[in-house]
Amino acid sequence: MKLAINGGKPVTTINFPSQLNMDKAELMMVVGDCMDNGLLTGYQANSTNFYGGPMIQDLENLFRSMYHTKHAIPCNSCTSALHIACMAIGLKPGDEVIVSPYTMTCSATAPMLCGAVPVFADIEKDFYCLDPESIEEKITPKTKAIIVVDIFGQPHNVKAIQKIAKEHNLFVIEDAAQAIGSQYGSDYAGTFGDIGCFSFNQGKHISAGEGGMLVTDHPVVALKCRLLMNHAESVVNEGKQMGWTRSVLKEVQHMWGFNMRMTEITAAITLNQLRKFNESMKLRQANVNRLNKILSAIPTITPSPIRPGCTHTHYAQSFTWDMEVSEGIHRNEYINAVKAELTPISRREKEGVPIGNGYIKPLYRFPIFDKQKPRYLSNVEHLWMESLFLMRFCAPPTTIYHCNLVGEAFQKVWNNRDELRH
């Protein structure tokens, strides 16, 4: 059977279903509760409407309840959440922040907004989060914080990194953009650091187009996050009326903020998707299990492990390619041949087939980080160049049927691997 990359017939020519998890309930909330009422935003920075409208407050309450956190502050994106978090902990020019090289750029650029310096540590070779040993090697007297990333839906090594932070008196900001609902023990990703950050961007588990959330158990930190998100004018104008104590007002009275507020429409969509999150995760997990089973039958492919004692929400499915048993076929050659057998996801056709070779280029290879480029980080370099690959086929309404098509493409290319060598 000739491979599609060599001119043969592909496994499928029909696009995979759109992964936008929207329904009529969201439409009714947006039209009925937001548009008809004319309340597109409930915020007024310098009034007692400082806490936003009814959708915002309902979203806060549900998020706090589901993820067992004392404070939840909606904002317009996870990028904004990271910027707010860096300012809330008081980063200043010259401070150093240890960051991951294998994540979205904003996890590393956020400290730069405060004039702080991102310092790249290596990642774990099996779970892909920041490696605690590498973190230890990067700490200097200038280190102020660690930004950990729960990458692909996998919680970071909470116990080890919290121990390091405590020993060195460091803040921990947790980027849980890809890991909402994941657990380390009985606690949820995003709740382990001083501040946690979530994303509701398109493609995430909960998608409202844009949107973010900050969580913290520290009341003064929470207030700082709210002020940074919402102009900080209430410190001067309405702080006493809202019951803030004199000591708290003294700590925050010189703050200035931004407009990083979430709209009522975004909150309505997010709220409805949050309510059906557990049901959606069951479907996602079934797809993950099916793809893992199929691809495990190919001797060069291993599904990435889940950290012991954790649950994984699989923002993306990750696998490793073993060059030692691949008969000389490089990961990229194989994956490119698989992609030729498949089709993109509907409404995201321009992005191509959602299988990636090695995730992104390590961040320190981008020109903006030239001054921070480390000598060599072996784990991330090997994963990027040789081993890791990702898939984005697990989110509903993708079904087992679609997973079988993906598995058929992988198996077809492996069975006809001689075509790749020749």
Mean per-residue pLDDT of the chain = 93
- Provide the H-helix boundaries in 171-245: 219-229, 234-237
pLDDT of residue 254: 80
pLDDT of residue 232: 83
On the CB side of 115, CA atoms within 13 Å amount to 5
Is the confidence at residue 1, as pLDDT, over 80? no
What integer is the mean pLDDT of 283-307? 97
pLDDT of residue 235: 66
Asked if residues 108 and 156 have their Cβ atoms less than 8 Å apart, the reply is no
Q: Which residues are registered as beta bridge partners of 214?
A: 73, 197
pLDDT in tens, 56-99: 999 999 999 999 999 999 999 999 999 999 999 999 999 999 99
Asked if residues 380 and 122 have their Cβ atoms less than 8 Å apart, the reply is yes
Is there a cis peptide before residue 397, judged by omega within 30 degrees of 0? yes
- Label residues 3-32 b or e (16+ Cβ within 10 Å = b): bbbeeeeebbeeebeebebeeeebeebbee
Helix (H) / strand (E) containing 97: strand 96-99
Write the single-letter amino acid at 328.
G
Q: Which of the two residues, 40 and 238, has the higher pLDDT score? A: 40
Q: Which residues are registered as beta bridge partners of 118?
A: 97
What integer is the mean pLDDT of 244-269? 86
Taking the CA atoms of 185, 189, 191 and 194 in sequence, report the sign of the dihedral they define.
positive
Min mean pLDDT across 76-80, 222-226, 253-257, 312-316 is at: 253-257
pLDDT of residue 306: 97
pLDDT of residue 236: 60
Percent of the chain's residues with pLDDT above 70 = 96
Q: Which residues are registered as beta bridge partners of 196?
A: 174, 215
Asked if residues 157 and 306 have their Cβ atoms less than 8 Å apart, the reply is no
Residue given tokens 């390091």 in the structure block: 164
What integer is the mean pLDDT of 408-418? 97
Burial of 158 (C-beta count, 10 Å sphere; 0-12/13-18/19+): buried
pLDDT in tens, 38-57: 778 888 766 667 889 999 99
pLDDT in tens, 112-130: 999 999 999 999 999 999 9
pLDDT of residue 237: 58
Output DSSP code: residue 387.
I
pLDDT of residue 256: 86
Min mean pLDDT across 108-112, 308-312, 417-421 is at: 417-421
Asked if residues 66 and 281 have their Cβ atoms less than 8 Å apart, the reply is no
Q: How far apart are CA 285 and CA 271, in angstroms?
A: 22
What is each CA distance from 400 to 48, 287, 293, 404, in whole angstroms? 50, 6, 12, 6
Quick one: pLDDT band at residue 201, thresholds 50, 70, 90? very high
Helix (H) / strand (E) containing 415: helix 400-415
Quick one: pLDDT band at residue 398, thresholds 50, 70, 90? very high
Nearest in space to 278 (alpha carbons), one of 305, 309, 308, 311: 311
Is the confidence at residue 31, as pLDDT, over 90? no
Strand order in the sheet with 171-175: 71-75, 212-216, 195-199, 171-175, 143-149, 96-99, 117-120
Write the single-letter amino acid at 38.
G
Is the confidence at residue 149, as pLDDT, over 90? yes
Burial of 167 (C-beta count, 10 Å sphere; 0-12/13-18/19+): exposed
- Label residues 308-326 b or e (16+ Cβ within 10 Å = b): eebbbbbbbbbbbbeeeeb
pLDDT in tens, 257-274: 999 999 999 999 999 999
What integer is the mean pLDDT of 218-243? 80
Say what angle helices 219-229 and 78-88 make with each other, to 10 degrees.
Answer: 120
What integer is the mean pLDDT of 224-253? 76
Quick one: pLDDT band at residue 28, thresholds 50, 70, 90? confident
Write the single-letter amino acid at 142.
K
Q: How far apart are CA 25 and CA 250, in angstroms?
A: 44
Q: pTM of the predicted model, to two decimals?
A: 0.95
pLDDT of residue 19: 82
What integer is the mean pLDDT of 403-414? 98
Nearest in space to 84 (alpha carbons), one of 101, 106, 58, 61: 106
Q: Which residues contact 236 (CB under 8 A, 6 or more apart)?
A: 46, 253
pLDDT of residue 44: 75
Quick one: pLDDT band at residue 13, thresholds 50, 70, 90? very high
Q: How far apart are CA 406 and CA 291, in angstroms?
A: 8
For 197, the token pair is 């950050």
Quick one: pLDDT band at residue 384, thresholds 50, 70, 90? very high
- Which domains are assigned to the chain? 4-21+277-354+392-421 (3.90.1150), 24-275 (3.40.640.10)
